[in-house]
Chain A
């Protein structure tokens, strides 16, 4: 018997290296599990498409392929961006005027550059979670394809492609 403590390798996935599990049905419909893989979804996405991978009533989780620089977006409520692969710079901006109805759901695109004050920025790598605060603007920049999981509410630009992304 070895006295050496075992060494463990934690498996995180990425755009270039992911492996899907699946659903073994006994007495059910596999569609009930709405099963997909974030990296597979992002690998087929255009930059900054907001593709829902989970939905619970009005709330969604969106898979976003970050590549290049996004448009500015204004959010009426807090959102949270979790980088699952790569590195993303997140700029935050305090607009001079209200750019989105505070009662609305989901973020909206801003025409051009907003007027106002810069709040700061975050350079986020794999596993880093960043708050996108209510009433403010943000944009993403990434030098190489990266993946963001966005905690938000179903909005005007959320895309639903369940038949394309899920096991059935």
Chain B
């Protein structure tokens, strides 16, 4: 891995209308169908739809917890202030062939480059946050943009959604009910508050809130108990990235069903398939990576421990990779 790289550049539009980007030793080009990535020891090609969906999550999640694999070759590792960009680092064949490559960037440098790339390469009508049946095509020569779709911010409640001054509940005016959640009960809890306790007596319909989500695979914080974060999300089709954990992560399936393919975090070797139905709870250990498949739009409660100390504790063996033993 090289030291922190700062070299970034942007080209004039190519014959397809898209700019090319350089990040240290990496170059990123797109044409009508594909993204082409080159680094000093190799090259990679991937469909532009898959790449933009992954890029959207990496940006929206601020590089998330641990590793965001765009696919089996390309991805990022979050060090919370700086970020590794890699090719083949978590691919056993690339590692053995010594074709893998990784460079470290200041957070703001790589975030800025990624945002510019997403902005330039997202055409009018394509929403990389949306389910496949709810968006237009990303393909073809450059035509317009979709800044409104790609600049939506992730919900991050400070205490709980619905409290005065915190994130607001969703309504018909702001978030129509999704087509796959038209049957979800929208009734709100009955709340009686004594004078003076308006900031402390609070409740909201989480299922109704989720039924109105206009994005998929985008965990957003709705309640906070110190470093314990409820990050529910609505899922349809395939998680556009393969998430490599740097800490234990928990899933509670609130509705419907998701199948998770679980692989070894370092090599990508298959480890298990986890099928989760409503009410099921499962941990994702800190040494795996996972990708979810949801046939019908479903509600998933992602539960995170946001402690900044956890990655080092686990990496140094001071904390286990599994949450519980018996």
How far is B180's CA from A10's CA once the two chains are assembled, in angstroms? 7
How far is B323's CA from A35's CA once the two chains are assembled, in angstroms? 12
> Is there contact, CB below 8 Å, between A21 and B322?
no
> Is there contact, CB below 8 Å, between A131 and B223?
yes
B203 located at the interface, meaning its Cβ lies under 8 Å from any Cβ of chain A in the complex: yes
Which residues on the B side are within 8 Å of A145 (C-beta)? Answer: none
A-B contact count (CB 8 A): 237
B307 located at the interface, meaning its Cβ lies under 8 Å from any Cβ of chain A in the complex: yes
Which residue in chain B gives the minimum CB-CB distance to A57?
B305
> Is there contact, CB below 8 Å, between A18 and B278?
yes
A114 located at the interface, meaning its Cβ lies under 8 Å from any Cβ of chain B in the complex: no
> Is there contact, CB below 8 Å, between B274 and A21?
yes
> Is there contact, CB below 8 Å, between A80 and B194?
no
Shortest CB-to-CB span from A88 to chain B, Å, is: 10
A148 located at the interface, meaning its Cβ lies under 8 Å from any Cβ of chain B in the complex: no
Which residues on the B side are within 8 Å of A153 (C-beta)? Answer: 225-226, 228
Query: How many A residues touch the partner, as a band?
Result: 35 or more
> Is there contact, CB below 8 Å, between A119 and B197?
yes
> Is there contact, CB below 8 Å, between A32 and B322?
yes
Which residues on the A side are within 8 Å of B273 (C-beta)? Answer: 23-24, 26
- Give residues of chain A (32-91) contacting chain B, Cβ–Cβ below 8 Å: 32-40, 53-57, 59, 61, 77-80, 82, 84, 90
Which residues on the B side are within 8 Å of A152 (C-beta)? Answer: 225, 228
Which residues on the A side are within 8 Å of B119 (C-beta)? Answer: none
> Is there contact, CB below 8 Å, between A9 and B183?
yes
B315 located at the interface, meaning its Cβ lies under 8 Å from any Cβ of chain A in the complex: no
> A120 touches which one: B180, B188, B192 (CB < 8 A)?
B192
> A56 touches which one: B250, B276, B297 (CB < 8 A)?
B250
Which residues on the B side are within 8 Å of A160 (C-beta)? Answer: 324
> Is there contact, CB below 8 Å, between B192 and A5?
no
Among A8, A125, A131, chain B packs the most CB atoms within 10 A around the CB of A131
Among B194, B226, B282, chain A packs the most CB atoms within 10 A around the CB of B282
Contact with A along B288-312 (1 / 0, CB 8 A): 0000000011010001110100100
Contact with B along A97-118 (1 / 0, CB 8 A): 0000000000000000000011
A156 located at the interface, meaning its Cβ lies under 8 Å from any Cβ of chain B in the complex: no
B7 located at the interface, meaning its Cβ lies under 8 Å from any Cβ of chain A in the complex: no
Known: A54-B250, A130-B203, A133-B200. A35 touches B281 (CB 8 A): yes
> Is there contact, CB below 8 Å, between A151 and B270?
no
How far is B69's CA from A93's CA once the two chains are assembled, in angstroms? 48
How far is B192's CA from A123's CA once the two chains are assembled, in angstroms? 9
Known: A22-B275, A129-B222, A133-B200. A54 touches B252 (CB 8 A): yes
Known: A12-B255, A119-B197. A56 touches B281 (CB 8 A): no
Shortest CB-to-CB span from B318 to chain A, Å, is: 11
> Is there contact, CB below 8 Å, between A37 and B281?
yes
> Is there contact, CB below 8 Å, between B182 and A8?
yes
Known: A8-B180, A8-B296, A59-B225. A127 touches B274 (CB 8 A): no
Which residues on the A side are within 8 Å of B160 (C-beta)? Answer: 78, 80, 129, 131
B111 located at the interface, meaning its Cβ lies under 8 Å from any Cβ of chain A in the complex: no
B99 located at the interface, meaning its Cβ lies under 8 Å from any Cβ of chain A in the complex: no
> A129 touches which one: B203, B256, B299, B325 (CB < 8 A)?
B203
A-B contact pairs, 27 of them (CB 8 A): A8-B297, A10-B180, A10-B296, A13-B277, A19-B278, A22-B274, A22-B275, A25-B271, A35-B282, A35-B283, A36-B280, A54-B252, A56-B247, A56-B250, A57-B305, A59-B228, A80-B225, A92-B201, A119-B194, A120-B197, A127-B205, A128-B188, A129-B204, A130-B203, A131-B159, A131-B202, A151-B303
